[in-house]
Amino acid sequence: MRLYILSGAGLSAPSGIPTFRDGGLWDRYKVEEICSAEAVAKDLAKVNRFYDERRRELAKVEPNEAHRYFAQLESRYETIHLTQNVDDLLERAGADPIHLHGRLTQARCMECAEVFKIGYEPIADRSCPKCDAALRPDVVMFAEVAPDYRYLYTIQADIFIAVGTSGRVIDIADIAQKYPISILINPKREKRVTMFGEFDEYVDEYFTHFIQKDVTKAISDLEDLLREAL
């Protein structure tokens, strides 16, 4: 059995990583000022300070039970895990995900585009060790291309599992329809919202199974569904 997992902010929220919506970071910051291509071009120092703070927060938290569960799934099933999260909690739990939006623990040169591992260190006052140009977070900003989105519709799997994502950035409802078994884990129902606007329907209506729980409390339900599918 092959699994296709797509995770979002709800996977890392129980570990203490702030989400962006619903009382999260976007209530404290303006997207266009710290997380957009325009912001990088206009005020890189401000962008770097914002992500330095996110990196400091990341250094203080640990993987939660759900990170560890999805990591051990990789030892039991053929699994491809795409994550929208830029933290490294899945890796610390032993998983090997594809990061659709980049990695917080890496920096990228503004000139030569070389990528460097920086862990949890600040980059606000550092420069590229190769060409001495300015560094930026190795994170996909709004209005930038996300190269690894090419995986979203090309994966072949028996089961699609969306966990901790509202579907506002990636249309998980559309993806779910392409798989015979699809499972959504999210603590609340979300209206389907795409680039064409908000629909008068809920994302979970497109899935064969909906576990309406916090991700750490949904593990036993998910395990039961996977056993039934065997």
Confidence band, pLDDT 50/70/90 cuts, at residue 25 = low
Confidence band, pLDDT 50/70/90 cuts, at residue 195 = confident
What's the pLDDT at 131? 96
- Residue 195, exposed/middle/buried by CB under 10 A (0-12, 13-18, 19+)? exposed
Average pLDDT, the chain: 93
- Counting other chains too, the contacts that 107-115 makes at CB distance below 8 Å and 24 or more residues apart are 107/135, 107/136, 107/137, 107/138, 108/135, 108/136, 108/137, 108/138, 109/133, 109/134, 109/135, 109/136, 110/44, 110/134, 110/135, 110/136
What's the pLDDT at 156? 95
Is-contact 164 176, C-beta < 8 A?
A: no
> For residue 6, what are the CA distances in angstroms to 80, 84, 103, 132, 135?
9, 8, 16, 37, 29
What's the pLDDT at 8? 97
Is-contact 96 74, C-beta < 8 A?
A: yes
Asked if pLDDT for residue 143 goes beyond 70, the answer is: yes
Give the residue-averaged pLDDT of 148-156.
96
Asked if pLDDT for residue 23 goes beyond 80, the answer is: no
Q: Can you read off the two tokens belonging to residue 176?
A: 């779910």
69 vs 33, residue with greater confidence: 69
What's the pLDDT at 60? 96
Asked if pLDDT for residue 197 goes beyond 90, the answer is: no
Give Cβ neighbours of residue 187 (< 8 Å, ≥ 6 apart).
Answer: 10, 212, 213, 214, 215
Percent of the chain having pLDDT more than 90?
87
Confidence band, pLDDT 50/70/90 cuts, at residue 30 = confident
Give the residue-averaged pLDDT of 20-38.
73
What's the pLDDT at 198? 82
Asked if pLDDT for residue 194 goes beyond 90, the answer is: no
Give the residue-averaged pLDDT of 203-224.
98
Enzyme catalytic residues: 101
Asked if pLDDT for residue 32 goes beyond 60, the answer is: yes
